[in-house]
A and B are shown apart, each in its own frame.
Chain A
Amino acid sequence: GAVVSQHPSWVICKSGTSVKIECRSLDFQATTMFWYRQFPKQSLMLMATSNEGSKATYEQGVEKDKFLINHASLTLSTLTVTSAHPEDSSFYICSANARAGNQPQHFGDGTRLSIL
């Protein structure tokens, strides 16, 4: 079945550091990938939609200069949290849209980001 790989699984770093998270579709091409964020005991909230070969679309309230998204190929999207601060600590999850017809999205295992 469709597999989405997300790396790293967890990151602990100092405030002010930039952190890059990778999302790969392993056995299918994904023209669209989605980035979600999940705070403790809350549901997933969409941050941005990553489109191969074009600019990402950000949800209202998400700073595009802080959360840089690059979707350079049909199998890789990256999310870079720039100058991270403790309030950016969260669980970040990507999904890839292998939609042919109404096929389901598949999610990565998430990245736990902790900023000290």
Chain B
Amino acid sequence: DAKTTQPTSMDCAEGRAANLPCNHSTISGNEYVYWYRQIHSQGPQYIIHGLKNNETNEMASLIITEDRKSSTLILPHATLRDTAVYYCMNYGGSQGNLIFGKGTKLSVKP
């Protein structure tokens, strides 16, 4: 089962920052947190991952709390094309696979 929990849905105004939270209080100290998104009828797209330090790339920023019990994905200037389901995950499967929860459906509105 997934070790992460996320809100079911969120709305964000176009051009504003989208902050997507994730709780992962039961992951172990050496488990990375990975964020992916899935736009309708496409395969999941990798966004960013981190262990305990904050991370930033061309797509997003990842803020991980000091106790590693939660993290926040930040899309600094959301566009309509960022509308998707966002998944926060860890490699927790028995085969070393990612475990998909239900994710957060982000709707970016004009």
Measured CB to CB, the residues of A under 8 A from B are 4, 6, 32, 34, 36, 43-46, 49, 57, 91, 93, 95, 97, 99, 102, 104-110, 112
Report yes or no: B96 in contact with A32, Cβ–Cβ below 8 A: yes
Chain B's closest residue to A4 (CB) is: B43
Q: How large is the interface on B (under 10, 10 to 19, 20 to 34, 35 or more residues)?
A: 20 to 34
> Looking at chain A's contact residues, is the secondary structure mostly helix, strand, loop, or mixed?
strand
Report yes or no: B45 in contact with A107, Cβ–Cβ below 8 A: yes
Residues of B within 8 A of A97 (CB): 96
The smallest C-beta distance from A106 to any residue of chain B, in angstroms, reads 6
Report yes or no: B43 in contact with A109, Cβ–Cβ below 8 A: yes
Q: How far is the CA of A38 from the CA of B71 in the complex (A)?
A: 26
Report yes or no: A104 in contact with B34, Cβ–Cβ below 8 A: yes
